[in-house]
Amino acid sequence: MDFAIFGIVWVIISALAEWGLHRIGSNTMYFLLSNQGAIALHAFNFLTTMLTPVFLFVIWYLVWTAIRYHADSPESRPSRVQFNKNGLFTGIWITGSIALNLLFWLHPTAADLEQMFAAQLPSVNKNDLIVDVTARQWEWIFSYPQYHLTQTVNANGEDELVIPVHKKVEFRLRSYDPFHTYDVEAGVIHSFWVPAFGIKEDVIPGETRYEYIVATRTASYQTNPEVRVQCAEVCGPGHPWMESPLRIVTASQFKSWIAKQQKLQAAGS
Amino acid sequence: MAQNVVTPTAVKKVRIMPPMLRGFLWAGIGFLLLNSLTASIRPDVGHPFFTEVSVTMGWIGGVIGWLLGVGAYEGMILPLFGVTPRIQPATDWRKYFAFATEHKVVGMQYLTSSGCAFILAGAVAMAMRIELASSTLYFFAYSDRYLSAVGIHGTIMMFAVATVALVGGLGNYMVPLMIGAKTTVFPRLSGLGQWLIPAGVLTVALSPLLGYWTTGWRGYEPLGSQDASGIIFYYLGVAALTMSSLIVSLNLVATIVFNRAPGVTWARLPMYVWGVLTVSILNLIWLPEIQMAFVLRLLDRLVPLNLYNAMGQPLSDLELFWLFGHPEVYIVVVPAFALWNEIIPVMAQKTLFARSWAVIGLIFVMMLSGLVWAHHMFTNMRNSEMFPFSFFTEMISIPTGFAFMAAIGTLWKSRYRLTTPGLLILMSMFNFLHGGISGVYLADPPVNLQVHDTMFVVAHFHYTIIGGMVFTWIAAMYYWLPKITGRMFSEFWGKLLSIWIFVAFNATFSTMFLVGLEGMNRWVPTYPPYLHPLNLAVSIGAWALGTGFVLHAVHIVWAWRKGPKAPDNPWGGRTLEWQTSSPPPDHNFESEPEVVGSFYVYGEHAEPVLAHPPAAPETT
């Protein structure tokens, strides 16, 4: 009897939760607009789909205990039913948890990592747009070596990152301070994070790290505040302000922006 | 020998100043002594009297002076040289404010230290949430103050509360009682360890006096080496706090191995004792590692060594930190798992389900916890390293689940008494489940790369640590309050306040998951304005939670002083601590208990636990 009521309610609330999840599925991680973001969102939703019944099983069981099994008086009386093992239950629990975790390791973990690593192979990255990103305390500096641009800025003179949509971009991430008066190697760990990309990569002093991204639609900080470069690893008192606006534009807009930046740089030098 | 002859004449009352006051005085003397010594032998002429090197040495002198002053001089040093101290240890309430070796006194001292540290670091968290109620900087003068607050909150909560309360505190008090021992094996280690806690907490809390440090509780290099001098006192404070847990663990492991009463076999060992044993072994393995890592950081700064900047290898510092850092979170939560299955069978008066699996779970969590640490570094390690570490991280949920499995099986068709501790245990399982489930997401690298270093992670680990450890700690305090004090708390207020903290806790940290998913990074006192509404909600929840914790503390202290008298065994527990009077007598048991039955079998198969039950009838 207990078994039937508990089980039926569990199935019903799990089904309702899955249906609700399905309805909001594309927004569970708020706002993502890159190929990497699609991988993360897919993994997130897959895990949620699989874990919802597990989660609700325990939650519902705790509520069930409080409702159905609570003692009506505080006096110390043994429970009527007594047992210390149940091979079927422990067997299902242990094999189930092993199977579920092996599944998660194969999919999404291994499957998604294979996709991520494949996107980083040199053979598929021959015509990328290269953006050199330099993290210093506390500023993001963007340069476009293919266009001989050393530091791109907007009309206010603030660092600006602009990338074309649907184009593979290779970010080369380094941490040092080109403006330091005597020690350009002075640098700490930063983390290059665009929330809307769905990935962050730490920038380590003395090393070069790479991140490959294809943005899947045009957007800017004005259209969604998650479209911004944000340092995600604490890097000193300036850390909260180590952010930079980002614009994802069409190919032709990108071209005219590059031309403007080249003119600006020529005028400045 | 000569000294011993002198003692009879010296027995007459010798009054000294209160030991803690003497500790402060001797600490000041010790600090000045070693600081001056260091300053005097420095070769460069004209340097200031206080330098980073000299205050480091001075701090060591200060801590030694403090420990000797509070009573280690009479308790440890004089006996070591065969001198009988002229000052006898206090027997009244003063014994709680001096170096002590009686395990119940030490346990109470530890619980008090931990409780004060919890309130202190909690107040710092309240200040952080005041700042985060607005998207602009308005409460702290500048972000380095805020980041120092983050670091102080995290360091004290981790090393003086979460690691300590269930091991140094309840462990010291309960373990000898639960295994039928009169005392611990190395009581002086525990006694000394307790007094390292206030030293460490004060060192960390006052560190901003030497300059603000911005790294948070992890102290990542190379940022740490460019921070102001205050970070030195963070390194030193952690050294004191970890040393405290290390020597206490040594004592508890030895006690559990060597001091069990006849019949307390490994197969009968109480769940909580298993929890303290596994966590103490984790402490013995990993605390020396983190101490060496912090010594390296200190030397890297003082010498300096260039170990961790662009010329060295910054990542090795992160690796050394997390090699300890992940076992640490299991150090925090393993005793809580054990306590679930300690308290549930008593509240249900029902046989513990699948006991051996619950113990196997604790042991496997202990072993696997050393293999998962690099999941804290998915954003900065090489791709190939993600595979093995995501594997072990996902697998560690299996033995963790055994604690749930045993609890669920025990609760099935039980008659569960929803007393305050019983209710808090269910709440703790509810909360820890959120932490565990969100941990599965974090174990998956593609999701991790997005939510790492965001408030999602902050919510996740507060769910595991507050939800798992702090809720269980409060449950255990209510459960053992009648045992420790002989008095009962108010069920009404206990339950009301538990529901209060449960609602406030979930309101705070479930919202924090959303803040993280929406793109809020960590370690920031300011944030883009679109995150303001959710952050305000988190802040309101956090203040309610903080108030609830303080009220619990007030209620517990009230019950301890003024509560109604409790019977010796109010819950009908079968473990040994309930087979003696409340509060327990000086040597715990009138006669050495001999155990012949299982502690966790109830109902018609229940046999008497003791071969010779005490004469007094068991009250319920």
Mean local confidence (pLDDT), A118-141: 93
CB B250 within 8 A of CB B186: yes
Cis ω on the peptide bond leading into residue B288 (within 30° of 0)? no
Cis ω on the peptide bond leading into residue A138 (within 30° of 0)? yes
pLDDT > 90: percent of chain A:
86
Query: By mean pLDDT, which of A70-79, A232-241, B335-344 is the weakest?
Result: A70-79
Tell me the pairing of strands A161-164 and A139-143. Answer: unpaired
pLDDT at A269: 62
Could you identify the residue written with the tokens 């950081």? B297
Q: Regarding predicted confidence, which is higher, A17 or A72?
A: A17
Mean local confidence (pLDDT), A140-157: 94
B414–A contact, CB cutoff 8 A: yes
CB-based burial label for B285 (10 Å; 0-12, 13-18, 19+): middle
Residue type at A52 in one-letter notation: T
Mean local confidence (pLDDT), B507-514: 97
Instruction: Give residue-wise pLDDT tens across range B195-237.
Output: 999 999 999 999 999 999 999 999 999 999 889 999 999 999 9
Cis ω on the peptide bond leading into residue B399 (within 30° of 0)? no
Name every residue whose Cβ is closer than 8 Å to that of residue B443 and which is 6 or more positions away in sequence.
A104, A109, B375, B390, B393, B394, B397
Query: Which candidate in A89, A175, A189, A226 is best for mutational testing of the B interface (most B CBs within 10 A)?
Result: A189
Mean local confidence (pLDDT), B555-572: 95
pLDDT surpasses 90 at A185: no
Of B380, B398, B445, the CB nearest to A113: B445
The pair of structure tokens assigned to B83 is 């001198």
Residue type at B617 in one-letter notation: P
A240/B525 CB distance under 8 A = yes
Sorted by where each starts, the structural domains of chain B and their CATH numbers stand as 19-80 (no CATH), 102-562 (1.20.210.10)
DSSP letter at B74? I
CB-based burial label for A262 (10 Å; 0-12, 13-18, 19+): middle
Shortest CA gap B438–chain A (Å):
10
Nearest CA in chain B to A44: B447
Identify the CA nearest to B76 among candidates B95, B63, B60, B89.
Answer: B89
The pair of structure tokens assigned to B105 is 């006194």
pLDDT band at B6 (very low <50, low <70, confident <90, very high): very low
Query: Which candidate in A5, A101, A227 is best for mutational testing of the B interface (most B CBs within 10 A)?
Result: A101
The pair of structure tokens assigned to A81 is 């039913």
pLDDT at A239: 96
Of B144, B433, B444, the CB nearest to A104: B444
3-state DSSP call for residue B164? coil
The pair of structure tokens assigned to B554 is 């007030």
pLDDT surpasses 80 at B615: no
Instruction: Give residue-wise pLDDT tens across range A4-42.
Output: 999 999 999 999 999 999 999 888 999 999 999 999 999
pLDDT surpasses 80 at A231: yes
CB B391 within 8 A of CB A101: no
∠ CA B105-B109-B114, nearest 5°, is: 150
Helix (H) or strand (E) segment spanning residue A192: strand A190-194
Cis ω on the peptide bond leading into residue B304 (within 30° of 0)? yes
pLDDT at A110: 92
pLDDT at B616: 54
Query: Which candidate in A62, A140, A176 is best for mutational testing of the B interface (most B CBs within 10 A)?
Result: A62
Q: What span, in angstroms and rounded, lies between the C-alpha atoms of B258 and B349? A: 30
Continuous H helices in chain A: 2-24, 35-68, 87-104, 111-119, 251-268
Q: What span, in angstroms and rounded, lies between the C-alpha atoms of B566 and B489? A: 9
B389–A contact, CB cutoff 8 A: no
Of A94, A109, A199, the CB nearest to B450: A199
B617–A contact, CB cutoff 8 A: no
Of A84, A202, A236, the CB nearest to B351: A84
The pair of structure tokens assigned to B411 is 């609760």
The pair of structure tokens assigned to B584 is 């327990």
pLDDT > 70: percent of chain B:
96
CB B79 within 8 A of CB B89: no
pLDDT at B12: 54
Q: What span, in angstroms and rounded, lies between the C-alpha atoms of A4 and A9? A: 9
B353/A83 CB distance under 8 A = yes
pLDDT > 90: percent of chain B:
87
pLDDT band at B2 (very low <50, low <70, confident <90, very high): very low
Shortest CA gap B160–chain A (Å):
24
**Mean pLDDT across chain A:** 94
The pair of structure tokens assigned to B280 is 């103490």
Instruction: Give residue-wise pLDDT tens across range B357-411.
Output: 999 999 999 999 999 999 999 998 877 788 899 999 999 999 999 999 999 999 9
Mean local confidence (pLDDT), A67-76: 91
Mean local confidence (pLDDT), B276-304: 95
The pair of structure tokens assigned to A219 is 């957007």
Nearest CA in chain B to A115: B446
Of B215, B355, B414, the CB nearest to A69: B414
Phi-psi region at B442: left, alpha or beta (left = phi > 0; alpha = psi -120 to 50)? alpha
pLDDT at A155: 84
Shortest CA gap A42–chain B (Å):
9
CB A193 within 8 A of CB A32: no
The pair of structure tokens assigned to B38 is 């260091």
Q: Regarding predicted confidence, which is higher, B17 or B99?
A: B99
B383/A112 CB distance under 8 A = no
3-state DSSP call for residue B555? helix
B131–A contact, CB cutoff 8 A: no
Q: Cβ contacts (< 8 Å) between A237 and chain B: which residues?
A: 142-144, 147, 212, 214
Name every residue whose Cβ is closer than 8 Å to that of residue B518 and which is 6 or more positions away in sequence.
A30, A195, A226, B530, B531, B534
Report chain B's C-alpha Rg in angstroms: 25
pLDDT at A186: 82
Instruction: Give residue-wise pLDDT tens across range B306-363.
Output: 899 888 899 999 999 999 999 999 999 999 999 999 999 999 999 999 999 999 999 9
pLDDT at A265: 92
Q: Which residues pair with A173 in a beta bridge?
A: A133, A209
Shortest CA gap B82–chain A (Å):
52
Shortest CA gap A61–chain B (Å):
8
CB B64 within 8 A of CB B243: no
A101/B227 CB distance under 8 A = no
Query: Which candidate in B221, B391, B413 is best for mutational testing of the A interface (most A CBs within 10 A)?
Result: B413
Q: In terms of residues, how long is chain A?
A: 269
Mean local confidence (pLDDT), B522-540: 96
- Output phi, psi for A216, to 5 deg: -100, -5
**Mean pLDDT across chain B:** 93
- CA quadruple B125, B131, B135, B141: dihedral sign: negative
pLDDT band at B1 (very low <50, low <70, confident <90, very high): very low
pLDDT surpasses 60 at B619: no
pLDDT band at B10 (very low <50, low <70, confident <90, very high): very low
pLDDT at B87: 79
Instruction: Give residue-wise pLDDT tens across range B52-97.
Output: 999 999 999 999 999 999 999 999 999 999 998 887 788 888 899 9
- CA quadruple B93, B99, B100, B103: dihedral sign: positive
B139–A contact, CB cutoff 8 A: no
pLDDT at A1: 87
